[in-house]
Amino acid sequence: MGLDSKKDVYLDGSSAGSVSRLEILEGPSGRRVRSEAERARIAAESLSPGVQVSEVARKHGVTRWQVYDWRRRLRVCCRRARRLHQRLRRWLWKMR
């Protein structure tokens, strides 16, 4: 068995790159599933004046790229809601 320098684990096999035994660990992967509301809240928090995205990401244990993606999705959602609201107002105006 040799010590793998990248992972600090022992591999059962030769140093030529082949492994004769592979252990699969079961259980939680460490990923956290966040609700849409939680993602929207984090994205909104990152939009506050003077706040850095990297600070918000670190605070919530996510990457800044996730926060940027959630911000983009929040903007798209807000645009759709605004258009729907305008259509609804026009429709109600016509019903008068």
pLDDT in tens, 69-92: 999 999 999 999 999 999 999 999
Buried b (16+ CB within 10 A) or exposed e, 52-66: ebeebbeebebeeeb
Q: Is residue 88 part of a domain?
A: yes
pLDDT of residue 30: 67
pLDDT of residue 1: 46
Which residue blocks in 25-63 are alpha helix, DSSP H? Answer: 36-46, 53-60
Domain count, the chain: 1
Give pTM, 2 decimals. Answer: 0.60
pLDDT per position as a tens digit, 4-44: 445 555 555 555 666 677 777 666 666 788 999 999 999 99
Q: Is residue 85 part of a domain?
A: yes
pLDDT of residue 4: 45
Give the residue numbers spanning the domain of 75.
34-96
Q: Is residue 11 part of a domain?
A: no
Q: Is residue 5 part of a domain?
A: no
Rounded (10°) angle between helices 64-95 and 53-60? 100
pLDDT of residue 95: 85
